[in-house]
Amino acid sequence: MTACSGGEEGKNGAGGRKRPPQLVAAQVAAMADFAPTLVALGTVSPSQSVAVRPRADGEIVGIAFREGDNVRAGQLLFRIDARQARAAVAQAEGELKGAIAAERRATLDYERAEKLVEKGFVSAAARDLARANAWSARSQIETNRALLQSAQVQLSFLTVKAPISGRTGELGFRLGANVRQGDATPLVTINQISPIHVRFLVPAANVQQARAVMAAGGGQVIVRDRQAGTTLATGRLVFLDNNVDPGNGGVAARAEFRNDGDVLWPGAIVEVLFPLGAPVQHIVLPEGAVQTGRDAPFVWTVAAGGPKPPGAKDPDSKGMGGKLEMRNVEVAGRLDGKVYLASGVKPGEQVVVDALARLKEGDSVRLKGPSKPQVAGNAGRPQMGPQTGSAG
């Protein structure tokens, strides 16, 4: 008769015994700012990188910096043996002086021939020859002046200066080494690391959002340490490629950072957080409170009015128990162990956060303790790092 009664006891377990209230932990649903945010892996790269190579052959006779030094644009780096180049400059200077003297003599000859032609002492052909010699002497001056400039340029190549400001790497050649213009190994490589760039991919579905953010000034891009999760630097989006890469389905993007204190290093892999819109208030819950259902994600809410813990006294125990209700929710995004809901739960409702696998619709539950509203991060408006999450 008990089994066939179909009453409350028949639905609550073997032997017709009603399931006792379960002890669960719950949290009061609270509001927090959330911005739909792209979370991706990024690679740190220098804003400029120059491999310094020799432009003239010779022996290195001086190195004016140490490996790893910060250098300024135009600062002396290497001196290459310049004795032969200086001799070439001196020779070109002497030839230019000789050309100037020859031009002066040819000009005087032409002026004298011009006067003698008027008196009939010199033929017109002789005068024309003298004029041609004067013009030829002038052109020789220009030729010798160009040769002198060429020799001076070759001499300047033997003093190697920094083309950009940045940090030097490992030396490719040491003091006393002979270098050539065609050497594959550079003398040194200089990386500009302030400002510095981080490259990452934007999925094709988020390109229009990224374009809007960049058009508005680049927004705020955050990079974090992959292991510790600490924020390393904050910058802005400065580049978005003009095509979708068919290999990965994304668009290459680049963010720029001031890199104070050199916290970002070229080649490092970091976590990139790129907000794709303005922060909006959403219900925030622990990640584990949201379960995956057949049709939609859901949470367990506790309706007030259930049994109270043994020994509890009113009014302190008010609201410490209730009936379970399955509630479908819409997820706006996730980050740092928290989930942000777009709908399904209202502020102030009790949401179960543990013992989820043993729960059933309509079960009576007892709460482990008084629930207090919890907000992601600190009370009030959270900081930029914790409030962002992967796009939902």
Q: What average pLDDT does this structure show over 13-42?
A: 78
Contacts of 63 (CB under 8 A, 6+ apart): 77, 78, 79, 171, 174, 175
Residue range 155-163: mean pLDDT, rounded: 96
> What pLDDT digit, counting tens, does each position of 169-189 carry?
999 999 999 999 989 999 999
Question: What is the pLDDT, as a whole number, of residue 372?
Answer: 46
Pick the closest to residue 33 from 332, 387, 377, 335 (CA basis): 387
**What percent of the chain stands above pLDDT 70?**
84
Alpha-carbon distance of 310 to 141, in angstroms, equals 112
Whole-angstrom distance, CA of residue 74 vs CA of residue 59: 21
Task: Extract the tokens encoding 321.
Answer: 């128990």
Task: Check whether 190 has a pLDDT greater than 80.
Answer: yes
Q: How far apart are alpha carbons 186 and 6 in whole angstroms?
A: 87
Question: Which has the higher per-residue pLDDT, 64 or 386?
Answer: 64
Express each pLDDT in 114-157 by its tens digit. 888 888 788 888 888 989 999 999 999 999 999 999 999 999 99
Tokens encoding 20? 């006792």
Q: How confident is the model at residue 369 (pLDDT cuts 50, 70, 90)?
A: low
**pTM of the predicted structure, to 2 decimals:** 0.66
Which helix (H) or strand (E) segment holds residue 389: the answer is strand 388-391
Question: How do residues 192-240 score in pLDDT, each as one tens digit?
Answer: 999 999 999 999 989 999 999 999 888 899 999 998 889 999 999 999 9
Extended beta strands in 74-225, E state = 76-80, 159-161, 166-168, 178-179, 188-203, 221-224
Q: What is the pLDDT of residues 264-274, one digit of tens each?
A: 999 999 999 99
Give CB contacts under 8 A, 24+ apart, made by 248-251.
248/201, 249/203, 249/204, 250/201, 250/202, 250/203, 250/204, 251/201, 251/202, 251/203, 251/204, 251/207, 251/210
Structure-block tokens of residue 91:
């020779």
How confident is the model at residue 321, as a pLDDT?
67
Q: Which two tokens stand for residue 293?
A: 């259902």
Query: What pLDDT score does 142 carry?
Result: 94
For 199-210, the pLDDT digits (tens) are 999 999 899 999
